[in-house]
Structure 1
Amino acid sequence: MRKFSLIAGSLAGLLSLAAGGAWLALRAPDFAAETLKVRYGRPNSHYADLGGGLVLHYLESGPADAPVVLLLHGFGDNAFSWDGWAAPLSGKYRVIALDLPGHGLSAAPAGFIASPDSMTEAVERFASKLGLSGIAVAGNSMGGGVAWNWATHHPERIARLILVDAAGWPSAQLQKPPLAFRLMQYRLGRALLASIDNTPLIREGLKKDVVDQSVLTEPFIQRWADLQRFPGHRPILMSARPGSVAASPELLAKIAVPTLILWGEDDQLIAVDAAHRFHQAIPGSRLVIYPRVGHLPQWEIPARSAADAITFLDETHFG
């Protein structure tokens, strides 16, 4: 027994050394904020200082006096993922693609917790800062969860709602979670992910997010990875609990605005069953399912999904 204990102890020590060695090999510091702003900022980049260290970056296009369409990205993503929607929408609307706290080029204070309520509160503060009301809001994945949550708490802000593979139904979420999400279930995993270069894990996760792998260009993947190394982002991302948003028929029945639901039929992260549940729960909602499309329709089929959004806005006389 003593010999077995010594062997087991030695193996545990070797595994610890191996894990430590892997961490030393993979660890990567944050990039400087200004470096990333220079690398990824655009002429239409703007920053809203909401106080308390919360400064949200957003991309704005279209006529300044036109009806507003606000675009909210998913977990780990960024405002640039809406590029395929911003161009066609900006012909008629003032389009604002927002980087949520802990994402993109937005800055958040140390200790910010990425919960559905904190994200919704940040969006409400942003809308108040810019004086936005009677707007259309579209959200993908986590951003979709924020969008419908916001609509139930601040209906005066929102005139149209578009949910794109939105988070909400716990039993339908994380059907085939990528390795990064599995690691996030453990404290040691979160500590590791908060300090290393996650490019390989991001690449692996994105491959599950789309059916058409050709849309995953290296610049797209690198931007995801680089922006997650904005100062303070990784601890905020690790504070999130994917799948924690909890929808219910009673809660969603409060949504009284015209609502469009867009969904990739082959979404491996949030099963298409969730689309039908949103459709059943939100009175008068419209549903469009895309065959052979994954979790990111706004990136995988931007022209088609944007056209469906524009048709919806036109037919419901938005603006």
Structure 2
Amino acid sequence: MLSRFLSLELGQVHYLSNDRSDLPALLLLHGNASSAASFDDLANALDGRFHLIALDFPGHGRSDRLSMPADAYAYSMEGLRDLLVKAIACLGLSDYSIAANSLGANIAAQALPSLHGLRALILMASIHSSGKDDFFSNVKPDAPSKTSLKPVFDEADIDVLTRAFIHPSRAGKPYARMARDLRESDGNFREQIVRFMALQHWPDEIALLARSTVPLLYIGGRDDAFIQHAFYRKLAQQVPQLDGRLLLLDNVSHVPHLEDASACARSIVEFAESLRSEAS
């Protein structure tokens, strides 16, 4: 994947691309304290099938760290939705799919009414809810959720979080990538996203997903350290488009594309092929 930058009003936004514009476009969105580089193995598995673009949200990866308090809004959910729409326009995407993990999937779901040209949405290890209280009711009581939103991580925090994000059986390269992303992410991002949660309206993602005509696929981890297992059954009931398209991978926690890239790639390819078959 080649390194590229978008010059937006708020600064430089980094992305990785295989530059295969002759293929169907698939935009990859990471979660909190992660990065576009977390998609490297998935990109290798999907190369030759998609025009891959992995975006670094501001404050993550190689995108700019923003000035506080002047640019604080850009670190809010509303600001990130605005950024996603602007990035898609700047990338010239008019016919594309999105695969998004955790926070990235929340941003994509909330932005659905503005994502013109979106052909499919793949949600990975994300909680979708009718509001803030509903969201947190689906989080496991013993999950290190508060730690994941601390402005400053010490090495003990990074170890705790990496062990939660990554299944123990995936220790090694996925652990190292996750730990590096945690160290390098901007603590101001987490501080501001928490602050704005109390100030901004929380969109009903369940209603947005259920009303959408965009085909959906959900890929989660059977051993997710953050998500209560009952959530998956509830989501399938609330969003009919996920009937038969909600997959839980074994020995996977909260970052499926980093923990089991090959299984994610197979699921994405099968989903894309099924959509092509339905359209023909």
Question: Cα offset for 1:219?
Answer: 3.8
User: Which residue identity lines up with residue 119 of structure 2 in the other structure?
Assistant: A
For residue 301 of structure 1, what is the aligned residue in structure 2?
Answer: 260
Are 2:85 and 1:124 aligned? yes
Q: What TM-score, normalized to structure 1?
A: 0.74
Unaligned runs of 5+ in 1: 1-42
Matched residues in 1 for 2:57 and 2:230: separation? 27
User: Which residue does 1:82 correspond to in 2?
Assistant: 39
Q: Tell me, in whole angstroms, the C-alpha distance in 1 between the residues paired with 2:207 and 2:88.
A: 26
- Conserved? CA contact 2:221–2:254, under 8 Å: yes
Name the structure 2 match of 1:136. Answer: 97
1:18-33 pair list within 5 angstroms: none
Confirm or deny that 1:48 pairs with 2:6. yes
**Shift of residue 105, structure 1, vs aligned partner:** 0.9
1:166 maps onto 2:126 in alignment: yes
In 2, the alpha carbon distance for the partners of 1:86 and 1:308 equals 14
Corresponding position of 1:311: 270
Residue 274 (structure 1) aligns with: 231
* 8 Å Cα contact 2:85-2:115 kept in structure 1: no
Q: Which runs of 4+ in 1 moved over 6 A?
A: none
Q: TM-score of the superposition, structure 2-length normalised?
A: 0.83
| Aligned 8 A contact 2:109 2:208 in 1 | no
Cα deviation for residue 246 of structure 1 reads 5.1
Picking from 172, 181, 185, the partner of 1:224 is 181
Unaligned stretches of 5+ residues in structure 2: 130-134
Report what 1:209 is aligned to.
165
Q: Is the 8 A contact 1:264 1:297 kept in 2?
A: yes
Residue identity (%): 25
Residues in 1 aligned to 2:161 and 2:138: alpha-carbon distance in whole angstroms = 18
Residue matched to 1:263? 220
Deviation by residue 1:194-222 (Cα, 9 ceiling, x = unmatched)? xxx63331221110123234434464245
For 1:125 and 1:71, the matched residues in 2 are separated by 15
Give the distance between the partners of 1:301 and 1:140, measured in 2 at CA. 13
Work out the CA distance in 1 between the residues paired with 2:195 and 2:49.
Answer: 34
Q: CA deviation at 1:148?
A: 1.3
**Residue of 224, 231, 235 corresponding to 2:188:** 235
1:262–1:305 Cα contact (<8 Å) kept? yes
In structure 2, what is the equivalent of residue 65 of structure 1?
22
1:40-89, Cα deviation, whole Å (9 max, x unpaired): xxx711010111x3321001015222211001001011111111211122
Change (3 A) 1:219 1:242: farther
For residues 148 and 65 of structure 2, the distance between their equivalents in structure 1, rounded to whole angstroms, comes to 24
Change (3 A) 1:141 1:104: same
Give the superposition deviation at 1:177.
3.0
Aligned with 1:156 (options 116, 127, 146): 116
Q: Following the alignment from structure 1 to structure 2, what is the Cα–Cα distance between the partners of residues 272 and 121?
A: 31
